[in-house]
A and B are shown apart, each in its own frame.
Chain A
């Protein structure tokens, strides 16, 4: 506090105004991150995203060497054996160790899931390998634009999927491994059977026109919450013993289940394999740390290596007996899961509640301090930030923006229905404030019972501009759980265990009894498979476009849907046609995605995750065999909701109510992009950029009417009621679709980054959006620049339906930093959050950053290497996201531009 401030307090105090306690206090300065963190982050910033072949090589070798064995055992042996063979890297500044691969930001391809991508590249990749070496000067890459992404080949490094760098000498290994899987990867087999469907062509046409943009097998796991209970409760050695006991009990016994009962024995045999693999993986890190210690000249560093060695050997065999060991154990399991499939959105869950008993005991025993715990949590952030996902270019760049959404949730309610916030969770937030990294992103499960000081701390973190914590409504989430999983026996207790899987996918959970420190603590964790595969990313505006064009995709000239050949005379008729096309798309896409996931679960069933996820171990069934407690988790995912709703409103108003022009005239204007150049021609994807063509004046009147039509987000019931109608329809329609688990589907509304690519293929829309530009982001954010009545009006519009009808709703807001300055600013931010939560809003997140800064960063990315922004449900480095999304974030309305 400076002199002027304290003087002001004195003056006010003398007047009976207690400002110091009331308001306006300067917030505490945020301490610097630890030295270890800073050193490792310095390395991080210079890291190239790297793919290598160690794990794929060993997976492939072990898979084929076990040819003929029971599939789940064969799979576990290949996964576990590959981990056990990977090279452990231990860096001198680390305390927590382990990573996906030997590299810092490493990943690897999964040709057994999807081989065609690599096989089609085989020849060109080998040509690159055979090309003569470049000069030495070319061997050095330029850091800057694109961050750590290797967008093109250089020197001895080959770019794959415009993101990963792979060393030339490993390319022949990639080519050779991929060859094994030609025609038999999950992708190939499911496609083979999909082709038996008469409507297969319809599916292909959907995908080619990008009505739907995603295959489920591309990232078959994730968008779920992991569960760390088993290893924390038992430790790996004891789990192996338990497997033996279970094998003794179940092998050869069908129990009551004549179909799956017999597979229990094989499940436990597989779990034994995978547990042994994880254990050896940990031991190897311990060995490497010991090895480095023998050659380390510095005594302090040597001691650190030996400490790491001890922790890793303990974690390899015993149940954790300190907070550090427990954290290391969760990290091991997390990496174990994310390494067994191409994955994003494998969420950490409510870690601060899971690990609280360990933290509490260490504090009681006086063997650690808060500062030490914060340091570990800082180092943990780097580990999670380094988790990369290797999928094809379209998936990792286009959909995920390079993020893997390892979400960590805070707050909510505990088993007893009280606030679940733990002392450790304050430290998790503190570590995130000090150690600025994009992952893990934090989510607050806001409940009326959540302590105010915790909310203030979380709001102070949100203000830092990293985009997290995001804020989710705990009651709305619990209500959705009971609604969706009630039929499977979800009760109030389990409903309390929910949290976010992936960026915004509410995932069911359960509490498990952790016996530690002389007491039993009910710890929450995930209890379902992925809550984020199914019919994914259906562009709602694109389907409307196809209704107007009689099913013909004007961009590609292909007939996507059968022509309806109807003259559309009423608004209702048009909406009915939209529903009809949506259903045509959904029926076939659902069946094919079901097949993809079914082939996946037969050949590529989760190994590590099937050990961890309740009730797999209790039932003796892996995740593919409905081993999880809850399985009604597969969904339909929408994209461009508000663009769609605004388009409906514009047509309803201009064509059917005002009769200002006909639907045919509107369609012609859309096809001609209202007379403007398209974003493809201009390469500017911002919605406010327009460059006219010769024919522009022809559409002036229609364009103006579209722009001036009612827009969602202004508390205007004309358009908001259309959003409500849409939701009521989806609520009853989607459960008529059944997943491969035989359960009803539901609505998921996270666009991730797909509003970029899906907007890219969509003509101009009746709301005045131009061709090729992004759709509105999220599901209840206003379309950029159309919210004229302020933040409270958006809240009003967003909550015209009950958010617990769906898995999620997404609200992105951009605030100017000056609006939330100081402690009173934190309060005001919390006021805004609370206001929305009270109205039943499910989710809100903030970019607290000025547009000026973003524009500068777009011009000079080098200077803004550490700038982070919130995109859809995640935080990413500005320099690592694509330009269309950058443009969209800049154009988003900023509140309180002081």
Chain B
């Protein structure tokens, strides 16, 4: 694995990561059909690239970067006989074959790549282009097609990354969703200027907003940003008379946000804002290989696990405060 210092993310300035490299065209890193845990009914989940937060436990670190980039799944490379397909394909000389007959990537070069010649030549998809461009109409036509499949309750869920980062594109798509009567859900960090946040939410029927930690300093340590803007946006949303359904989400991580105190503070905040649903997601480690494929080290590779017992205890704290608390995918939507 290349040293962490060469990772595409760490060497980039915040602006590089967060700023979309074009407007109106959407940068999407995945579209999942038959998504059943991210809103009511059967849904199509659109994962938009780019995120204003960089959570240390993130399961989709490839979603941080809001531009087309490379993913390198070294473990899937099956050759030991001198395959040079990727090396030969790269016009920038970024790929070398090591003595152990494995390709090695120079992330410094690859992070600026726009052409991705290496990705079409590998039969094992070791090198994969992450993030594809979509015109709003292109995405809407997929959604209209999928509308045939959702059933009465389903619809589209925009997640990411954080879909609001590409708010111009998102609003274009959302306007069309309204036109075609498509049910919309969003998963967002709410870490955006209030005006943009409220503008997007106007088109949303169902929202998940993550509140990772009630302590702003801890929030910043875990995610890179404080929580003030998030909390004030939630309050503003409630005050705006928004008619949708809001469920707060919290990836629950041992030693980070699983204390009684954090729960009590979140309850207080929810009661202040007349909120009554929270969804605790037990920390999982599904993202490990993705961190490796991006050439990054994963801080949460060996800690953060929650016991079922503790999840139940936390649930009880919320329930006692008359807040509907769901654990994992055991939800009522």
A and B touch in the complex (CB under 8 A): yes
A-side residues, CB < 8 A to B, are 4, 7-8, 11-12, 14-15, 17, 19, 22-24, 690, 692, 694, 696-697, 700-701, 703-704, 706-708, 715, 768, 789-793, 795-796, 818-822, 824-825, 827-828, 830-832, 834-836, 838-839, 895-896, 898
**Chain A residues closer than 8 Å to B82, beta-carbon distance:** 697
Determine the distance from Cα of A692 to Cα of B315 in the docked complex, in whole angstroms. Answer: 53
**Chain A residues closer than 8 Å to B154, beta-carbon distance:** 831
**Chain B residues closer than 8 Å to A7, beta-carbon distance:** 319
Q: Write the chain B residue with the least CB distance to A707.
A: B123
Identify the 5 closest CB pairs spanning chains A and B, nearest first.
Answer: A790-B33, A831-B151, A835-B149, A24-B332, A792-B33
B84 near A697: Cβ-Cβ < 8 Å: yes
**Chain B residues closer than 8 Å to A831, beta-carbon distance:** 41-42, 149-154
Q: Write the chain A residue with the least CB distance to B284.
A: A898
Determine the distance from Cα of A701 to Cα of B86 in the docked complex, in whole angstroms. Answer: 10
Q: Is the interface of B mostly helix, strand, loop or mixed?
A: loop
Q: Which of B60-68, B73-81, B172-180, B290-298 contacts A (4 or more CB under 8 A)?
A: B73-81
Least distance between B39 CB and chain A CB atoms (Å): 12
**Chain A residues closer than 8 Å to B331, beta-carbon distance:** 24
Q: A692-B78, A821-B329, A832-B149 are in contact. Are A708 and B120 (CB under 8 A)?
A: yes
Contact of B85 among A11, A700, A834, A839 (CB under 8 A): A700
Determine the distance from Cα of A375 to Cα of B42 in the docked complex, in whole angstroms. Answer: 36
Least distance between B204 CB and chain A CB atoms (Å): 17
- 8 A-B Cβ contacts within 8 A? A12-B332, A692-B81, A790-B34, A792-B33, A822-B330, A831-B149, A832-B149, A839-B148
Contact of B324 among A8, A22, A704 (CB under 8 A): A8
Q: Write the chain A residue with the least CB distance to B37.
A: A898
Determine the distance from Cα of A824 to Cα of B152 in the docked complex, in whole angstroms. Answer: 12
Contact of B83 among A696, A793, A834 (CB under 8 A): A696
Determine the distance from Cα of A4 to Cα of B314 in the docked complex, in whole angstroms. Answer: 11
Determine the distance from Cα of A615 to Cα of B33 in the docked complex, in whole angstroms. Answer: 49
**Chain B residues closer than 8 Å to A24, beta-carbon distance:** 331-333
A interface footprint on B5-32 (CB within 8 Å = 1, 0 otherwise): 0000000000000000000000000011
Q: Does B231 contact A (CB under 8 A)?
A: no
Determine the distance from Cα of A715 to Cα of B145 in the docked complex, in whole angstroms. Answer: 10
B121 near A701: Cβ-Cβ < 8 Å: yes
Q: Does B122 contact A (CB under 8 A)?
A: yes
Q: Write the chain A residue with the least CB distance to B85.
A: A700
**Chain A residues closer than 8 Å to B41, beta-carbon distance:** 827-828, 831
For B33, B40, B83, B145, the residue with the greatest tally of chain A CB atoms inside 10 Å of its CB is: B33
Known: A8-B319, A822-B330. 6 other contacts (CB 8 A): A12-B324, A692-B81, A697-B84, A700-B123, A792-B33, A831-B150
A interface footprint on B289-333 (CB within 8 Å = 1, 0 otherwise): 000000000000000000000001001100100111110011111
Determine the distance from Cα of A836 to Cα of B149 in the docked complex, in whole angstroms. Answer: 7
B323 near A704: Cβ-Cβ < 8 Å: no
Contact of B149 among A17, A795, A824, A827 (CB under 8 A): A795
Q: Write the chain A residue with the least CB distance to B312.
A: A4
Q: A792-B145, A898-B37 are in contact. Are A694 and B123 (CB under 8 A)?
A: no
**Chain B residues closer than 8 Å to A791, beta-carbon distance:** 33-34, 149
B36 near A692: Cβ-Cβ < 8 Å: no
A23 near B145: Cβ-Cβ < 8 Å: no
Determine the distance from Cα of A830 to Cα of B122 in the docked complex, in whole angstroms. Answer: 38
Could you tell me which residues of chain B, from 204 to 257, have a CB within 8 Å of some CB in chain A? none
Least distance between A790 CB and chain B CB atoms (Å): 3
Least distance between B215 CB and chain A CB atoms (Å): 26
Contact of B78 among A11, A690, A824 (CB under 8 A): A690
The A-B contact count (CB < 8 A) is 129
**Chain B residues closer than 8 Å to A19, beta-carbon distance:** 332
A792 near B151: Cβ-Cβ < 8 Å: no
Determine the distance from Cα of A11 to Cα of B149 in the docked complex, in whole angstroms. Answer: 31
B34 near A704: Cβ-Cβ < 8 Å: no
Least distance between A785 CB and chain B CB atoms (Å): 10
Determine the distance from Cα of A870 to Cα of B152 in the docked complex, in whole angstroms. Answer: 29
**Chain B residues closer than 8 Å to A793, beta-carbon distance:** 33
Q: Write the chain B residue with the least CB distance to A708.
A: B120
A23 near B332: Cβ-Cβ < 8 Å: yes
Contact of B31 among A14, A706, A707, A789 (CB under 8 A): A789
Q: Write the chain B residue with the least CB distance to A768.
A: B123
Contact of A11 among B123, B322, B329 (CB under 8 A): B322
B316 near A825: Cβ-Cβ < 8 Å: no
Determine the distance from Cα of A715 to Cα of B154 in the docked complex, in whole angstroms. Answer: 21
A819 near B325: Cβ-Cβ < 8 Å: no
Q: Does B189 contact A (CB under 8 A)?
A: no
Contact of B80 among A8, A692, A818 (CB under 8 A): A692
**Chain B residues closer than 8 Å to A694, beta-carbon distance:** 81
For A23, A694, A703, A839, the residue with the greatest tally of chain B CB atoms inside 10 Å of its CB is: A23
Q: Does B288 contact A (CB under 8 A)?
A: no
A interface footprint on B126-168 (CB within 8 Å = 1, 0 otherwise): 0000000000000000000110111111100000000000000
**Chain B residues closer than 8 Å to A17, beta-carbon distance:** 332
Contact of B333 among A23, A795, A839 (CB under 8 A): A23
Least distance between B115 CB and chain A CB atoms (Å): 16
B149 near A704: Cβ-Cβ < 8 Å: no
A11 near B121: Cβ-Cβ < 8 Å: no
A704 near B36: Cβ-Cβ < 8 Å: no
B150 near A789: Cβ-Cβ < 8 Å: no
Q: Does B184 contact A (CB under 8 A)?
A: no
Determine the distance from Cα of A895 to Cα of B33 in the docked complex, in whole angstroms. Answer: 9
Q: A4-B315, A792-B33 are in contact. Are A898 and B323 (CB under 8 A)?
A: no
**Chain B residues closer than 8 Å to A821, beta-carbon distance:** 329-330
Least distance between B117 CB and chain A CB atoms (Å): 12
Q: Write the chain A residue with the least CB distance to B149.
A: A835
A828 near B85: Cβ-Cβ < 8 Å: no
B83 near A697: Cβ-Cβ < 8 Å: yes
Q: Does B35 contact A (CB under 8 A)?
A: yes
Q: Write the chain A residue with the least CB distance to B122.
A: A704
Determine the distance from Cα of A7 to Cα of B78 in the docked complex, in whole angstroms. Answer: 52
**Chain A residues closer than 8 Å to B329, beta-carbon distance:** 818, 821, 898
Q: Write the chain A residue with the least CB distance to B315.
A: A4
Q: Write the chain A residue with the least CB distance to B32.
A: A790
Determine the distance from Cα of A793 to Cα of B141 in the docked complex, in whole angstroms. Answer: 12
**Chain A residues closer than 8 Å to B323, beta-carbon distance:** 11
A835 near B332: Cβ-Cβ < 8 Å: no
**Chain A residues closer than 8 Å to B81, beta-carbon distance:** 692, 694, 696-697
Determine the distance from Cα of A19 to Cα of B326 in the docked complex, in whole angstroms. Answer: 13
A11 near B33: Cβ-Cβ < 8 Å: no
Least distance between B271 CB and chain A CB atoms (Å): 12
Determine the distance from Cα of A266 to Cα of B35 in the docked complex, in whole angstroms. Answer: 63
Determine the distance from Cα of A831 to Cα of B78 in the docked complex, in whole angstroms. Answer: 39
**Chain B residues closer than 8 Å to A11, beta-carbon distance:** 276, 319, 322-324
B79 near A692: Cβ-Cβ < 8 Å: yes
Least distance between B126 CB and chain A CB atoms (Å): 11
Q: A12-B332, A834-B151 are in contact. Are A896 and B36 (CB under 8 A)?
A: yes
Least distance between A41 CB and chain B CB atoms (Å): 32
Could you tell me which residues of chain B, from 82 to 97, have a CB within 8 Å of some CB in chain A? 82-85
**Chain A residues closer than 8 Å to B79, beta-carbon distance:** 692, 696
Q: Write the chain B residue with the least CB distance to A897.
A: B286
**Chain A residues closer than 8 Å to B152, beta-carbon distance:** 831
Determine the distance from Cα of A17 to Cα of B41 in the docked complex, in whole angstroms. Answer: 16
**Chain B residues closer than 8 Å to A836, beta-carbon distance:** 149
A15 near B332: Cβ-Cβ < 8 Å: no
Determine the distance from Cα of A692 to Cα of B83 in the docked complex, in whole angstroms. Answer: 11
Determine the distance from Cα of A838 to Cα of B35 in the docked complex, in whole angstroms. Answer: 20
Q: Does B44 contact A (CB under 8 A)?
A: yes
**Chain A residues closer than 8 Å to B333, beta-carbon distance:** 23-24
Determine the distance from Cα of A707 to Cα of B126 in the docked complex, in whole angstroms. Answer: 13
**Chain B residues closer than 8 Å to A839, beta-carbon distance:** 148
Least distance between B185 CB and chain A CB atoms (Å): 15
Least distance between A836 CB and chain B CB atoms (Å): 8
Determine the distance from Cα of A696 to Cα of B79 in the docked complex, in whole angstroms. Answer: 9
B332 near A819: Cβ-Cβ < 8 Å: no
Least distance between B164 CB and chain A CB atoms (Å): 24
Contact of A704 among B37, B120, B276, B332 (CB under 8 A): B120
